[in-house]
Structure 1
């Protein structure tokens, strides 16, 4: 099981942090963090439930990551393994994650797919998302997988939907003309846009669109 102890900094003050796998003892707090992290208009039925979390720690515990700061659970990230075909990238979040239940987890898959990431609002701007993403990159390398992949919401797109296509919006985010809370964050974590997918998730802010964001294993060739 994964456990990394380190420091994060808040206004120059170091705070002790631990990145580790989450367990059943964390479920109640993880559900509360989901509620705090994804308030309306995000659909509340997409918050974790105990059955989903039980599947995460049972079917693929290595992909169930959380972070604590000074002993307080502050965020989580979840993944599963899939066999990804770059020639046929279209999919929805429900399809590829089994609606978050990950019963389709493929132990022989070549791609670590990120199901979800959330950080408690009170603990944002500490770099916790990047820490958990790094843990997932390490898992990709350890397992010899081809890539890490996931659909990034584009919540800033709604303000420009009458002017730009989703692809044009992403181009402007990549060019630095627009900052998107999710896409820009994922780029800072080292991921790059692969393709816009429509009807990815019931998400009015993103007009139901998402961007597949990839991190290729740098130790593999071809």
Structure 2
């Protein structure tokens, strides 16, 4: 199981941080974090429920991580293992994650797939999301998988969709001429755009598009 202890600098003070596997005692707080991180117009039915969280810690506890700052739960990241074919990459979030229930988790697969990552708004800008992502990179290496993969929302797209296609938007983001809250963050974490998927997730801000973002295991 995963556990890492260190410090972060927040408001000119150092605070103890722990990344660990979450458990049933964390469920209520994890659901609150979902509510804080994904307010309307994001669909509330896509927030975690207890049955989904129970599956996460039962079917693949190695892929269920949370981060605490000074003893307070500040965020989480959830994954499952799938068998991904780069020659046939397109899918929806619901298909690849079993609608968040991960009953399709495949221990013999080749790819660690990101179901969700969330950091409380009050704890953002301290690099916690990047730390969670790096912890999952450790998991990719430990389990000898080929990559970490997941679909990124592109919530800035609706503001400029009348001017740019989704492909043009992502090109602008990768060039740095446009900043997207999610895609730019994932790129700062070391992930690269693989392909754009239509109707990836019900998401008005992204116009239902998602971008598959990849990090390859450097030891494979």
- Same fold, judged at TM 0.5 (above): yes
CA distance in 2, matches of 1:71, 1:12: 18
CA distance in 2, matches of 1:215, 1:51: 29
TM-score between the two structures when normalised by the length of structure 1: 0.98
Q: How many residues matched?
A: 220
CA distance in 1, matches of 2:108, 2:14: 40
Matched, 1:66 2:66: yes
Task: Give 1:173-192 correspondences, 5 Å limit.
Answer: 173-192=173-192
Structure 1 stretches of at least 4 aligned residues deviating more than 4 Å after TM superposition: none
Alignment root-mean-square deviation, CA: 0.5
Matched, 1:145 2:126: no
Gaps of 5+ in 1: none
2:124 aligns to what?
124
1:81 aligns to what?
81
TM-score between the two structures when normalised by the length of structure 2: 0.99
CA distance in 2, matches of 1:107, 1:10: 38
Task: Return the offset for 1:192.
Answer: 0.5
Structure 1 residue matching 2:195: 3-state secondary structure: strand
Task: Return the offset for 1:13.
Answer: 1.7
CA distance in 2, matches of 1:3, 1:152: 26
Gaps of 5+ in 2: none
Structure 2 residue matching 1:205: 3-state secondary structure: coil
Query: Once the two structures are superposed, what CA deviation does each residue of 1:115-150 show, in whole Å capped at 9, x if it has no partner?
Result: 000001111111100111011000000011000000
1:26 aligns to what?
26
Structure 2 residue matching 1:172: 3-state secondary structure: helix
Structure 1 residue matching 2:131: 3-state secondary structure: helix
Structure 1 residue matching 2:205: 3-state secondary structure: helix
Task: Return the offset for 1:12.
Answer: 2.9
Structure 2 residue matching 1:187: 3-state secondary structure: helix
